[in-house]
Amino acid sequence: MRSKAAQLADEALGLCAGEGFSLAGVVPVGPSARGAEFRAWLDAGKHAEMSWLADLLEDRLNPGRLLPGARSAVIVADFYASRPQPAETPEPGVGRIARYCRGRDYHEVVKQRLHRVCDALRARHPGAKTRAFCDTAPIQERELAAAAGLGWIGKHTLLIHPAHGSWMVLGGFLTTLEMQPPEAQRPEPDHCGTCTRCIDACPTGAISPYSVDAGRCISYLTIEHESPIRPELGAQLGDWFVGCDVCQEVCPHNSARAGGAGTSVREDYTPRRRGFDLLEVLGWDEPTRRGRFATSAMKRVSLEQVKRNALALLEHARTDGMHGGDARRLALAIDDLAWDAGQPASVREQARRLALRLGGG
């Protein structure tokens, strides 16, 4: 006869499957096994301006602190894109957004369903406590996901599933219920081998094996970073306006190799757009930004950041092919942003650099 803990795990995983999660696993709650590694990463300053990572370090390395009495964690994954992804040709004047931003906000899509799972468990087991998370709590989601057998952490530090690749978002919940992982659940071996494609392809050289220097990462620079983007890094942004997919685009585990399983992608993540017209972005106000990003994970990227990002891309884009109307619009927008004392410093600085490149001052 199976133990109560095993039955509880089956029940929780069944509820997750009923909510349409592509993957789910169970792990016991305990201190992080990678605490020393994470501390060394912080000591090296690779977290850049993300000071909260250090401020909440003890919580991050000890999940039980987030829910007193927590004994188990259930980890889930949604795939937001299938593999292989078609190659994308840059569009002049358009800033591209990472694929996870192209559909509905995954935070909402994942957490709404997790809350339903947690509600069902508490109703069935009075006295049980739960806490759901999806990038919303100081917790090492990828470490827990790897321990739960959802994949391995690749050299680019993202989770990779052997049959489906890495186009996934993670979430889960802590619970005071004791659950025993299924016997078939096993940690996935590292299949990166000697491959260094993600490291070699990173435009800014942010990746070393199993570590990312956030201060050089395009996703960090366009989403988390609040200061002006340094010219030497801005020159490597390519057409990435919010986020970056380069390390995933080149990963062999995201290619169309034989023997792979089909990947189920929720309709919620159906792309609504690939990017934004950069000249249009320069004229946005706050209500416009909120409207454009309302249902997307991009809504946490501020107006200051998106204007700075657009200017940084334009600084290193070819503008000599612009027709007269666009060239005049760009010149007027730069002049407005560069010398308007009401604009944030990062926007003014980025605009002045662009003005100098175009010979405008």
Determine the Cα–Cα distance for residues 56 and 175; give it in Å rounded to an integer: 20
Burial pattern 100-111, b for ≥16 Cβ within 10 A else e, equals bbbbbbbbebbb
Count the alpha carbons within 13 Å of 192 in the hemisphere toward its beta carbon.
23
CA atoms 189, 194, 200, 204: torsion sign: positive
Q: Are 59 and 103 in contact (CB under 8 A)?
A: no
Q: Are 32 and 60 in contact (CB under 8 A)?
A: yes
Determine the Cα–Cα distance for residues 275 and 87; give it in Å rounded to an integer: 15
Amino acid at 145: A
Residue 213 catalytic? Answer: no
Q: For the residues of 330-344, what is the DSSP string, one character each?
A: HHHHHHHHHH-TTS-
Which of 226, 224, 225, 230 minimizes the C-alpha distance to 204? 230
Determine the Cα–Cα distance for residues 188 and 206; give it in Å rounded to an integer: 25
Catalytic residue among 10, 135, 268, 277: 135
Token couple for 207: 């990746």
Residue 73, SS3 per DSSP: strand
- Pairing of β 240-242 and β 94-97: parallel
Q: Are 234 and 314 in contact (CB under 8 A)?
A: no
**Alpha helix positions (H), the chain:** 4-18, 35-43, 52-55, 57-61, 106-124, 141-147, 197-201, 218-223, 231-234, 246-249, 278-282, 286-293, 303-316, 324-339, 345-357
Which residues, listed in sequence order, are joined to residue 169 by a DSSP beta bridge? 78
Q: Catalytic residue numbers?
A: 135
